[in-house]
Structure 1
Amino acid sequence: MAQGKGRNRRFPQWLQRGSTRSAAVASAAGLAAARRSELVLAAAEAGLPLAPAAYPEGYGCSCDRVGCPTPGRHPVSFAWHTQASTEPQRVERWLAAQPEANFITATGRNHDVLDVPLDAGRQALEQLEADGVAVGPVAQAGESPLTGRMLFFTTTRGTPEDEDEWWPCELDCHPETMDEHPGLRWHCRGSYALVPPARLPGGESVEWVRGPELALPDPLTLLETLTDACATYMGREEAAEQAAWPMG
């Protein structure tokens, strides 16, 4: 009887410990959600036009497209360009309605994004800071040297009323031309980039390296260093491929 009573006394304590752990997990999740909302709203307040995006779900994407080629990396709506907004109230409604959604920022309106391979971006950032160049906001997407990217946020070339005044660039990147730009991609009119914090497949994420509160630099102050770093990176990639597949 005494032994049975001892087990009965311990049972409520076990339940209490389980309840405490559940409360701690719920509290941590609540804090993480609040922090995420703060960061998304900070991006909108910094002038980055935002729109809801898909997010990783299971082994695929939250969208209903079978075999989605870019899971968690694309807008939810086809009207993302006109939908994108910097209004805090609108962003708050999206956060409440779609708590798991990533967010993209529409480029070419208030800002552009220079998007480079991760290793090239790290090399360029180190060089730019050593040279005393004002870099501005920078984000990192993923950790893999093969697929990771670094995003440099800059002022935009703009969208003048006179189309002839807008100077095109061979680096211009649009959603449908991503694969054509394995090196440096220039996201301007008609393109977008994920804005931190965002979740990627495989447990990776998009995070700020330098926050959105920093002033946006002129893209031309970064371009030469970024292109040089990308050239070095692409040269190493080509050398590695040739070493892996020697020609008789």
Structure 2
Amino acid sequence: MGAAHDRRPGRLTQWWRRATGQPPGSEPPAEDRTALLLAVAQAGLPLAPAAHPVGHRCSCARVGCPTPGRHPVSFAWQTQSTHDRAQIERWATAEPEANFITATGMVHDVLDVPYGTGERVLARLAESGDGTEVGPVAVSDDGRMLFFTATRGTPEDEDEYWPCELDSHPESVDEHPGLRWHCRGSYVLVPPARLPGEGLGVTWLRGPEHPLVDPLPLLAALTDAEAVAAGTPGEEQGW
């Protein structure tokens, strides 16, 4: 699958998991799971129910599902998405095994990068203190790190927004192993979520209590890190 799908967590991720006492992909108790989802909703991020893994298969009825456990249950997920506390509690109670997605491009976007890129950026920013802000960050055990940012979309003006199709579509992300910008028309799994495979999941590295940040400075740092990893120009930036 290549380096972009390397599932080995780096030192930063291992430290965080030791500090929180939560192993990768572990399933929190039902009350903790609901509390984590409600914390996301309280931060203003819209949620909708998603499928969940059944072994290496998907809970949906689709034969050969290309994204098992990673997609919304309803085709109307964009209009269904909400941060209403009562609705999310009803969903979580009715479907205790369901994952949840958060629809991007309404309140927030997500910069989705390989593990190594994300860890290099976090380590560099921690050392340099250059002022680049980092908001919520999630770690996915399929080898990705998700940086949650303020959206660049303009939902109040439907004729002017940055559509996800300019980058990648939710069901074609494997065709984009580098940096993906999830914006209007896309979604990502929100922690706590389970992935197909033993003990794999999506967990918070920095939780939703951290405010959303401008994506552009962070995008520049991530792009430079991707360029260095690929051995292309950008190393002069001090990576």
Aligned to 2:182: 187
For the 8 Å contact 1:154–1:219, the answer to whether it is kept is: yes
For the 8 Å contact 2:164–2:182, the answer to whether it is kept is: no
CA distance in 1, matches of 2:164, 2:98: 32
Alignment deviations for residues 58-83 of structure 1 (CA, whole Å, 9 cap, x no partner): 23111111121111111111111110
CA distance in 2, matches of 1:226, 1:30: 30
Instruction: Identify unmatched segments of 5+ residues in structure 1.
Output: 1-28, 237-248
2:161 to 162, 166, 170: 166
In the TM superposition, residue 130 of structure 1 has moved relative to its aligned partner by 2.6
Give me the TM-score of the superposition, normalised by structure 1: 0.76
User: Does 124-133 or 196-205 show the bigger shift?
Assistant: 124-133
Aligned to 2:17: none
Aligned to 1:43: 40
What is the percentage of aligned positions where both structures have the same residue? Answer: 67
Q: Which amino acid aligns with 1:135?
A: V
Aligned to 1:222: 218
Aligned to 2:236: none
Higher percent of residues as helix: 1
Aligned to 1:155: 150
Change (3 A) 1:176 1:131: same
For the 8 Å contact 1:136–1:153, the answer to whether it is kept is: yes
Per the alignment, in what secondary structure is the counterpart of residue 112 of structure 1?
strand
Instruction: Identify unmatched segments of 5+ residues in structure 2.
Output: 1-25, 233-239
In the TM superposition, residue 177 of structure 1 has moved relative to its aligned partner by 3.6
User: Aligned ranges for residues 82-231 of structure 1 at < 5 Å?
Assistant: 82-132=79-129, 133-142=132-141, 147-162=142-157, 165-166=160-161, 172-202=167-197, 203-231=199-227
Q: Which amino acid aligns with 1:50?
A: L
For the 8 Å contact 1:56–1:71, the answer to whether it is kept is: yes
Per the alignment, in what secondary structure is the counterpart of residue 100 of structure 1?
coil
- Structure with higher Rg: it is 1
Change (3 A) 1:121 1:94: same
Change (3 A) 1:174 1:59: closer
**How many equivalent pairs are there?**
204
CA distance in 1, matches of 2:200, 2:66: 17
In the TM superposition, residue 124 of structure 1 has moved relative to its aligned partner by 1.1
CA distance in 1, matches of 2:71, 2:124: 31
**CA-atom RMSD, angstroms?**
2.3
CA distance in 2, matches of 1:119, 1:224: 16
Alignment deviations for residues 103-128 of structure 1 (CA, whole Å, 9 cap, x no partner): 00000000000000111111111122
CA distance in 1, matches of 2:94, 2:224: 43
